[in-house]
Amino acid sequence: MVNVVGLGYIGLPTILMLGAHGVEVTGTDYNSELVDTLNHGRLSFKEEGLEALYQEAREHGVSFTTEYVEADVYIISVPTPYEEITKKVDASYVVSAVRSVLPVCAKGAVIVIESTISPGTIDTYIRPVIREYGLVIGEDVHLAHAPERIIPGNMIHELLNNDRTIGADDLIIGEKIKNIYSSFCQGTITVTSIRAAEMTKVVENTFRDINIAYANELARICHEQNLDVYEIIRIANQHPRVNILSPGPGVGGHCIPIDPWFLVGDFPSLTHVIKAAREVNDSMPEYVLSRVSEVMNECGIEDISRVGFYGLTYKADVDDVRDSPTLQMLSSLKRHLCGNRVKVYDPMVEKDIVPNQYHDLDIFLNAVDLVVILVDHREIKENMNKLEGKIIFDTRHICSMEGVYHL
């Protein structure tokens, strides 16, 4: 029996995938509203293919509860933010989840931490908790780390096909956990040590952050030089060993803006590039705001309420708004007393989460003169004609109309 603890963006698809592939599994989350939602046949977020997977998993008897249940494998998938001041991982959610399963776990159970954690987190925070509880690691309880690589928007495909890493104290436990993930994962599963698995996951997201930062820095240099950054990148990428990513308005979500800080927090004197990349990406929303102001001046727009931000999520075609560049821009505007006046629209975000939020594309477009494209949702790509006659600042490079402002 497997108990998945934490049924958010990662835990939910994971439990559904396990259940749909015949693994006996129960999901636990301390958020009773979320558990009710799931038990009443509704999903807590939108993701292509998740509804069908949910139905399949339910037919296989998957259930959700606020209780921690007796199991021989626990998959812990709870948040891992960083501490604001030290930048080190905030392991408190993981520690608390582990504390909650210890009183009920079967003898010899494996606790798999799926949350992203900084290298050494299991040694520093988790082992002491288990010892304190009077259990012997390697006998009463085993530990493993199985970080997740999936990207919202393509979760189902990636759960099925991505390669994975599993860190464990010994090979037998590693293979046992590998077998569970192999119930659905067709990718290669590498078994290694816990510390190597912890480090690998953080290194992967840090790699992405640094590469995005490079593209963002180039965008700023090219703007100074009156050069088209997209043309420069397209030509540079013709080099057989160059692959520059696209610039954008910043990075959001629960991974890339967070995980590199773990390394900065733990190794402050060794992380110059990583820290600089974080700072570049974190400064992009402010940079975009300064460009919006330039465009407004150039086009004679004086009233900020005639400006519309298209997109609130941190990436295309998902409903996750955590740490999104648009939210960062809105909070910066709020600090400058005009945040409530910009108009905002996102087809994926049904609830009102910011002032002046619209829920109909046509009405939104009618209410503004300048449209700032901050997210490349499929909807806007398929409705480019509706932008005709508008002043457009496209931070995602999806609009090829004449006169569009780019990063």
Site for ligand NAD, rule CB under 6 A:
5-11, 28-31, 34, 77-80, 93, 96-97, 100, 115-116, 148, 150, 152, 253-255
The least CB distance from residue 221 to ligand NAD, in Å, is 30
Cβ–Cβ contacts within 10 Å for residue 183, how many?
Answer: 15
| 63 DSSP β-pair partners | 26
Of 81 and 339, nearer to ligand NAD (C-beta) is 81
Alpha helix stretches (DSSP H) within 247-348: 259-266, 272-299, 325-335
The least CB distance from residue 353 to ligand NAD, in Å, is 16
The least CB distance from residue 318 to ligand NAD, in Å, is 9
Q: Which of 201, 315, 343, 399 is catalytic?
A: 201
The least CB distance from residue 117 to ligand NAD, in Å, is 7
Of 77 and 271, nearer to ligand NAD (C-beta) is 77
Using CA atoms, how far apart are residues 192 and 182, in angstroms rounded to an integer?
16
Q: What φ, ψ does residue 142 adopt, rounded to 5°?
A: -115, 160
Question: What element of type H or E holds 101?
Answer: helix 92-101
Structure tokens at 184: 């659905």
Report the C-alpha dihedral over residues 205, 229, 381, 323, rounded to 10 degrees.
Answer: 40
Of 12 and 342, nearer to ligand NAD (C-beta) is 12
Of 150 and 296, nearer to ligand NAD (C-beta) is 150
The least CB distance from residue 296 to ligand NAD, in Å, is 34
The torsion region of residue 61 among left (phi > 0), alpha (psi -120 to 50) and beta comes to left
Contacting residues for 30 by C-beta, under 8 A, at least 6 apart? 66
Distances (CA, A) of 7 to 27, 37, 222, 317: 7, 11, 43, 21
Question: What element of type H or E holds 181?
Answer: helix 171-181
Distances (CA, A) of 282 to 13, 279, 293, 312, 378: 29, 5, 19, 16, 25
Q: Which of 185, 222, 255, 399 is catalytic?
A: 255
Start-to-end C-alpha separation, the chain: 51
**Active site annotation includes 338:** no
Of 64 and 287, nearer to ligand NAD (C-beta) is 64
Helix axes 194-224, 229-236, angle to 10 degrees: 130
Cβ–Cβ contacts within 10 Å for residue 265, how many?
Answer: 18
Of 164 and 291, nearer to ligand NAD (C-beta) is 164
Using CA atoms, how far apart are residues 407 and 373, in angstroms rounded to an integer?
11
The least CB distance from residue 254 to ligand NAD, in Å, is 4
Measure CA 159 to chain center. Answer: 15
Q: Which residue is nearest to ligand NAD (CB)?
A: 8
Cβ–Cβ contacts within 10 Å for residue 157, how many?
Answer: 13
Cα-trace Rg, the chain: 23
The least CB distance from residue 102 to ligand NAD, in Å, is 12
Of 259 and 394, nearer to ligand NAD (C-beta) is 259
Of 314 and 393, nearer to ligand NAD (C-beta) is 314
The least CB distance from residue 101 to ligand NAD, in Å, is 9
Catalytic residues: 201, 255
